[in-house]
Chains A and B, each alone.
Chain A
């Protein structure tokens, strides 16, 4: 039996359980059809969306993302991407809740600058406080600082999501040691959010013991996004199973796999 088909190995976030440990974004795709196909191939059950002004007058009949990625099939995770202050992030979450009929789960990200999209932890903590008081379930994008992560958990985050590397950079997990320290002390799911470039990065995150991985660009910016979505699904499953299986210890010298007895003279 594989871990992925084993119903007992579930990801639980804010009281709801999921089979898939891959969370995907919906940005940067060619069109809604490619979005739909890639997300289907990823097997993801939690899908992030952004909240933006509607077009005025242009393309009134334009299909809506939520007609393709429907809330009855997926857990929609609205993000606060593009917000640089706590105030804007809180406002975006409240709009998302109205948009999704009272939905409480949000992905909080408050960014520091446009060049790095690095989290502004001061503003993130400020937004966190308001959102928790307002009854939101908050999955929070953060830096890989164990102290900040602990503060977010203590404030009531339902998942901590440190970056592997900068959003959209595809550089992989640059500081696995910090992510390990964050996981050691966390009592809520720790997800790597941002930085995954290819399937091995996702597998490494899962082998380290991350509960799940959130990614967007690694799939959407691949030459064949649908195929990459499928690769990511397998990498997440493989990494999870390897984590559960427990890797062999590293050794300095060789250790023969074939028995040494009975060798012909």
Chain B
């Protein structure tokens, strides 16, 4: 809709006033601070001068008054310094307000008032200290909840003084950057997607407006759902899944704040480090401190307490770059098997038989007496509560053994002392020497006991594969892959290495959680998982064990998998593993990010053409561009980059198949244009020109994409088809593909 001139002038004026107030406060604060800084320096100086003489003999009672004097100076310095920190925060907040003071407004008429008030909502409160007029309300304040929770009409919200009733006549959203009002629009519901917002701010036709509102309504249902324990969202590329996930986190946090839960109760499981940066761009309310973003690899590292673990990206790089097809197939089938519910089934049986079959108890002797026999120890363990974790049960067993040792220690010490006292060498240190002997023998004893009371998951895991007979016994009734022998041998070989393979690390974490438990995440109430299609059953088993009391929001797209095949049954499997009381699956099938041309082009890589509905926004048709030689290819790419830059695109991505390809392309181009390379673990701002491997580009979006090396050597299999689909759907406005040599068969 067109903003009418009157509204526009009103909003411009209002923005100007708000910013000038913030600027006024800022300069007053800065002046005051300078004054204070001088004061602190002066006080510190005075303190050393006045009290220096008294410090050496401060603690004698005569100098009590010196001590008092010193502490008076010190107190006033530290008070002032604390005030100083507080003001630094305030200055930062004001600077942020001047940049973008608010993002929404509601016109709210309190039931007991005649006129509606304009309530502007922003990241923090701005108050005119003279008139007490609030220019901006903090988005966490009670009245702001109306914006998040209601459409226009009769509303109510909880305030410290009780329930407040009123009526909302307008909901307006703004885009303000660098203190300038870029656009605003009115909509009944909050429009969260930057794209949809931009659409609405321009001359959107009524039909367009209604489409946007339906999309938003679909998303809104997901964002605000509080009933479901497990909410699964299947959304096609460009349907706004990620922004939905983030807004759901914000909404849940919002609800959490009003019921006094801390924001740390929410965790987002994200695929890579790039994602974290993206989050703060999409949704400023979420800020970095407010929600924990956890990489799956971080979970593996903290449970296993080691850094020597292959990351998922390293695994994918191995899989994508290896020229040896047999090796590639083995890598893939090993990963597939060890992440499957078949293998977790075997692991579960293995864990059940640990107490009975795998723990090697031994007799315990102390002071020449037999205190426990191995049979008795095993019986004690088997008699314990089977619901408790095995590690805990063993700990109890160890405690009962040490307790009976403690009872006999007095006698033992007597014996040791009498032996010592018969040796004249030790006559002056008899007590110490006897104690030393006791410590030495007790150390040896406890080390022996711990051979069976402490679980070593790594050796147990190795044993599982080394003892092939019992492996097959445990797998009875489970259909194993044809190359299981090969997988077992491959695993045994890998376990000899210092660095754990990604799939073995997952299995080990599973084993650890099921025998020892892990409590670091026990307080988490909400878990949001993005890119769920990349996870296997074992991932969900692990998440379920870690966040046993949490509600889950799971988002994914079964068409965007890398290195595995997936279909809609993913969600059924997920439902079985996470096993929550109330679960629901929602489908987002309207893709509105890419132009229809890009979407049409990308859909050639999908097996089923159904599902995706495009949103009428058109652009250039993607081209597949051939170059006669590698150097001609580079020229064409450079040319395309400058075309994109002329068109004003802010993020331009050169997508390669692997990190190796990215590195070599970067080497070739870096002297010719300003270009950055994105590697595992890098966190950069996603604007400018950069080179990125396709598996890292997942979940991200760029104004323009140049997909490089679409020759037949790089892209020829079913798995590669998925990669092409992912790479192409990253583009919002412009997509072109480049190759030299033979064109990929997938593009015919």
Q: Do A and B come from one complex?
A: no
Q: Which residues in B have some Cβ–Cβ distance to A below 8 Å? A: none
Residues of A within 8 A of B (CB): none
